């Protein structure tokens, strides 16, 4: 496909042309049958994502009905979802950005409705105040909206800000995650418009005669016991803060102690395998075809494999420089539900079984990837493998020797699979070294010897044949029987000035050596590559161990260097970028908080939630055996934005209570208790909105699962810790002269 072309329209055009060929042009009995159709993968991934979105939407709506206790309020909040989706779709279309797996999978409907939840919950609470409040429902709605409009606006603005650094990601990760950032940002912008403008208008229509809500017994129970617990926490600040500091230390240990593995990106399950076999460089087409046929029989012997298609050598268009030593197999796979129980629907276990059988074929190095992944990996590293060690230098023999040492060092490292050296030597060369003394003895020039070899074996152009505008060289060359063997070439005769006929064997020293079969160049230097994959262990830990052992055991001559390419290089680049982006994100969030509170103290206090958020995300990754990656890193960015929301809602309301004359301790306790329901609702809907994606294992779920796991785990821990830590820290740092909002006389009830 051409660069920049639209996938959907291109595939539709191909299907149309194939149907026309099959039905109108090709003779009976001949049909084009695709064995790899990109639309199949798109269909499976779309089904998985839409299934997760539907389940998340249902869970969000259920939570809204239970916690709001008002059908009309729940309906208003639910309308946020279609409004935000339509808003995002219009903006994406205006920007000419197409939706993809990650952009759809990252949509958390719970996060989308958070602003409307806070707005409608506060309206419902004001409308259900005691009968002594003689104001009209419209006045109560206006007061309720005014009370929370600032925290709602800033909370959603902070979440959008948390996604903005994603636009700074580079290369592969940038292309994958930028559409997601656009989609989520547009959806949240639409949710902000709905929460600030549409939701209050709908509430004024549906609640014109007031509103009643269901008294949730579970919520009453939680509030009762939460009041007791938060009062104890506020009055024992050293213990509460000490526990929080201990949990923060645990989070730092999990994040930087190497307990959780690391990788570049989770591999998308494409539902098929791409198997590559590498023979000796000098192998011919007959032997390569024989080995390929045997490998096909081995692969087809697995019931999990419905079909195998293979190719040998390079394509006719010259886009690949490989030779007959390269065999590639497309191995289709049945749905995992139809696999034998021995594999437990684990692709790595199936690959290990295939590799064990294929290794019985002598003289072949095997590698396993997936059809799309294989092309992407080769484009990133320049090597036919997921990961590569590139050794740069001048001499081919020295390069291969160092490459063999690297292979010997890495073969015993746990997690290293498909290890092999791309040989650059192996092409048999017949060398004729002119014996100058012998040539002088017979009176024959060195150039005459070289000309004789060139004419006999390679051929020399004597003239040109013209046919119209076409020109062809007329080449003089020995017949095959006089140049096919070493002996026949050695027997070629040259006429000496004395008239004597002298053979090449008398004038040269003939030797047969291995020469360069392929010479790889990069950065103005020759190199050889050691390719390998990582299975059964995290990529970061495996490669870092390999780097340590190779640096310790392989001594490089002067002028030779080693570079680690492929996914590891991409992982290191993305980690360096995230180390810059994460602090920048926190700084941007702090600036927004300061513009809201006009106080450094309240901005820092609100940011304490961010410090507690990573613990749950890291624990969730550890428990589910997922690695730190770009996907989980983007999840932490989103988590930082969402977790600040708790602090914004709670601190703003505590300040409002203090402005009405409450004491610091009473404001902290009452504000925490009164904001428990909206905080629980916003956190629960955001958590449950991504829970199906966090638990999904269908085709297409691999890339979004770490993102969802981080947010789900982080929000749970943030809810459990933040509702106690924030009121405690507030009472600890609050002073009489603090900057507070203007007192709301209408709300002083």
- Residue 43: CB atoms within 10 A of its CB come to 13
295, 228: one domain = no
Please report the pLDDT score of residue 106 as a whole number. 64
With a cut of 60, say whether residue 159 has pLDDT above it. yes
Q: Is 565 exposed, middle or buried (0-12, 13-18, 19+ CB in 10 A)?
A: buried
DSSP 356-424: HHHTTSTT-EEEEE-HHHHHHHHHHHSSSSSEEEEEEES-HHHHHHHHHHHHHHHTTSTTEEEEEE--S
Residue 593 forms part of a structural domain: no
Please report the pLDDT score of residue 746 as a whole number. 44
Q: Is 478 left (phi over 0), alpha (psi -120 to 50) or beta?
A: beta
Please report the pLDDT score of residue 700 as a whole number. 65
Question: pLDDT band at residue 69, thresholds of 50, 70 and 90?
Answer: low
Looking at 458, 481, 516, the residue that finishes a domain is: 516
Summarize pLDDT for 76-98 with one digit per residue, the tens.
888 888 888 888 888 888 887 77
Residue 583 forms part of a structural domain: no
Residue 286 forms part of a structural domain: yes
194, 224: one domain = yes
CATH number of the domain bearing residue 337: 3.30.70.1430
CATH number of the domain bearing residue 159: 1.20.1640.10
Residue 617 forms part of a structural domain: yes
Q: Is 86 helix (H, G, I), strand (E, B) or coil?
A: helix
Sorted by sequence, the CB contacts under 8 Å of residue 389 that are 6+ apart come out as 406, 410, 529, 530, 532, 546, 550, 562, 563, 564, 565
80, 221: one domain = yes
Residue 179 forms part of a structural domain: yes
Determine the structural domain holding residue 330 and report its residue range: 272-369
Please report the pLDDT score of residue 594 as a whole number. 86
Question: pLDDT band at residue 710, thresholds of 50, 70 and 90?
Answer: confident
Judged by average pLDDT, the poorest of 256-260, 437-441, 487-491 is 256-260
67, 208: one domain = yes
29, 58: one domain = no
CA distances from 252 to 194, 239, 564, 627 (A): 38, 20, 28, 16
608, 722: one domain = yes
297, 332: one domain = yes
24, 78: one domain = no
What percent of the chain has a predicted confidence (pLDDT) above 90?
1
Looking at 349, 369, 389, the residue that finishes a domain is: 369
Domains: count for the chain: 4
Residue 482 forms part of a structural domain: yes
Summarize pLDDT for 688-702 with one digit per residue, the tens.
777 877 787 777 677
Cβ atoms of 61 and 78 within 8 Å: the answer is yes
173, 49: one domain = yes
215, 288: one domain = no
Judged by average pLDDT, the poorest of 63-77, 190-204, 536-550, 634-648 is 63-77
Q: What rounded mean pLDDT belongs to the chain? A: 82
458, 503: one domain = yes
Looking at 369, 395, 418, the residue that finishes a domain is: 369
CATH number of the domain bearing residue 509: 3.30.2090.10
308, 353: one domain = yes
- Residue 131: CB atoms within 10 A of its CB come to 5
Residue 592 forms part of a structural domain: no
Cβ atoms of 413 and 554 within 8 Å: the answer is no
Residue 320 forms part of a structural domain: yes
Summarize pLDDT for 197-224 with one digit per residue, the tens.
888 888 888 777 666 666 667 777 888 8
């Amino acid at each position: 496909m051409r660069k920049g072309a639209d996938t959907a329209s291109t595939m539709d055009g191909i299907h149309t042309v194939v149907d026309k060929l099959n039905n109108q042009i090709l003779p009976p009995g001949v049909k084009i049958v695709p064995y790899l159709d990109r639309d199949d993968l798109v269909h499976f991934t779309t089904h998985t994502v839409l299934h997760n979105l539907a389940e998340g939407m249902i869970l969000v709506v259920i939570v809204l009905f239970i916690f709001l206790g008002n059908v009309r309020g729940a309906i208003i909040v639910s309308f946020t979802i279609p409004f935000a989706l339509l808003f995002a779709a219009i903006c994406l279309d205006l920007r000419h950005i197409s939706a993809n797996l990650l952009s759809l999978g990252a949509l958390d409907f719970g996060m989308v409705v958070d602003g409307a939840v806070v707005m409608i919950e506060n309206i419902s609470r004001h409308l259900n105040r005691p009968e002594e409040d003689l104001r009209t429902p419209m006045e109560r709605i206006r007061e309720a909206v005014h009370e929370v409009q600032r925290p709602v606006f800033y909370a959603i603005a902070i979440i959008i800000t948390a996604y903005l650094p994603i636009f700074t990601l580079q290369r592969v990760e940038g292309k994958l995650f930028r559409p997601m950032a656009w989609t989520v940002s547009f959806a949240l912008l639409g949710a902000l418009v709905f929460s600030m403008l549409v939701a209050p208008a709908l509430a004024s229509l549906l609640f014109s005669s007031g509103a009643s809500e269901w008294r949730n017994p579970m919520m009453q129970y939680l509030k009762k016991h939460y009041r007791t617990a938060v009062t104890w926490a506020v009055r024992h600040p050293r213990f509460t803060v000490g526990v929080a500091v201990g949990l923060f230390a645990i989070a730092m240990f999990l994040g930087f102690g190497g307990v959780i593995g690391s990788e570049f990106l989770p591999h998308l399950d494409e539902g098929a395998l791409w198997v590559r076999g590498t023979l000796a460089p000098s192998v011919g087409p007959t032997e390569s075809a024989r080995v390929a046929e045997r490998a096909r029989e081995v692969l087809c012997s697995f019931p999990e494999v419905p079909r195998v298609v293979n190719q040998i050598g390079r394509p006719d268009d010259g886009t690949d420089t490989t030779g007959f030593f390269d065999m590639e197999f497309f191995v289709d796979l049945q749905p995992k539900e139809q696999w034998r129980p021995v594999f437990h629907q684990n692709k790595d276990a199936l690959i290990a079984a295939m590799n064990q059988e294929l290794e019985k074929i002598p003289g072949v190095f095997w590698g396993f990837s997936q059809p799309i992944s294989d092309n992407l990996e080769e484009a990133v590293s320049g090597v036919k493998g997921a990961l590569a060690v590139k050794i740069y230098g001048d001499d081919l023999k020295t390069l291969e020797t160092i490459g063999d040492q690297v292979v010997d060092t890495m073969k015993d490292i746990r997690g290293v699979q498909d290890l092999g050296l791309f040989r650059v030597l192996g092409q048999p060369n017949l060398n004729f070294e002119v014996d100058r003394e012998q040539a002088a003895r017979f009176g024959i020039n060195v150039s005459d010897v070289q000309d004789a070899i060139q004419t006999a074996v390679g051929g020399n152009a004597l003239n040109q044949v013209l046919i119209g505008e076409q020109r062809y060289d007329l080449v003089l060359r020995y017949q095959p029987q006089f140049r096919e063997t070493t002996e026949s070439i050695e027997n070629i005769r040259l006429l000496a000035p004395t008239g004597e006929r002298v053979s090449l064997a008398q004038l040269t020293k003939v030797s047969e050596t291995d020469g360069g079969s392929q010479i790889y160049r990069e950065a103005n230097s020759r190199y050889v590559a050691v390719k390998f994959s990582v299975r059964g262990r995290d990529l970061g830990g495996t490669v870092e161990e390999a780097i340590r052992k190779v640096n310790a055991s392989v001594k490089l001559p002067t002028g030779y260097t080693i570079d680690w390419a492929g996914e590891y290089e991409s992982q290191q680049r993305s980690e360096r970028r995230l180390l810059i982006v994460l602090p920048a994100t926190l700084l941007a969030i702090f600036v927004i908080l300061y513009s809201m509170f006009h106080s450094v103290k309240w901005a820092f206090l609100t940011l304490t939630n961010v410090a507690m958020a990573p613990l749950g995300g890291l624990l969730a990754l550890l428990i589910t055996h997922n690695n730190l990656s770009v996907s989980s890193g983007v999840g932490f960015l989103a988590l930082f934005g969402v977790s600040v929301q708790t602090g914004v809602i709670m601190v703003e309301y505590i300040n409002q209570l203090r402005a009405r004359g409450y004491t610091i301790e009473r404001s902290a306790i009452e504000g925490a208790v009164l904001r428990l329901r909206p905080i629980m609702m916003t956190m629960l809907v955001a958590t449950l909105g991504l829970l199906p994606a966090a638990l999904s294992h269908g085709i297409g779920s691999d890339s979004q699962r770490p993102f969802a796991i981080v947010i789900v785990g982080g929000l749970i821990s943030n809810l459990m810790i933040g509702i106690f830590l924030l009121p405690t820290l507030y009472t600890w740092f609050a002073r009489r002269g603090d900057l507070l909002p203007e007192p709301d006389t209408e709300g002083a009830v």
